[in-house]
Amino acid sequence: MSITCIRLVSLNVPARVKKGSEVQLSCLYDLGNASLYSLKWFYRNHKNPEEQEFFRYTPRGKPVKQVFPLEGINVDQFQLTQQSAFRNTASTFYKSEGGTVYITETNGMTSGNYKCEISVEGTFQTVAAEKLMTVEEYRE
């Protein structure tokens, strides 16, 4: 069995965000010749140092996408269905899917460390990275 070289290319988590805003988190990766088994997002903060999973994407799983409720983490699960003008088919798109997650209505509980973890099929080799995000209340 050979080891596949997977790597997390970029973890995009803003350092500071305005209270009440929508935030995009993204995790870009390179799997080499491997296939993605899962991509998971975790959260932890100073009040609860144990990381908690809030989003999971498993392209070959059922369901493909799972959201786990956490206080302060409101994952945008907006769904858009588009009808094809040329074929009698419809395509469904989700705002939060794959390596991209949108969090809405940020507040003090949203502040914390966000970790993206990816693993590949077969070897289940895993890589992860995390960044801190702080929600601030701006005064005008």
| Confidence (pTM) | 0.85
What is the secondary structure of the chain as a DSSP string? -PPP--EEEEEE--SEEETT--EEEEEEEE-TT--EEEEEEEEE-SS--S-EEEEEE-TTSSSSEEE--BTTBEE---EEEEE-SSSS-EEEEESSBTTEEEEES--GGG-EEEEEEEEETTT--EEEEEEEEEEE----
Domains of the chain are: 7-79+92-130 (2.60.40.10)
pLDDT tens for the chain, 140 residues: list them: 555 688 999 999 999 999 999 999 999 999 999 999 999 999 999 888 899 999 999 999 998 899 999 999 999 876 555 555 555 555 555 667 789 999 999 999 999 999 999 999 999 999 999 999 999 987 65
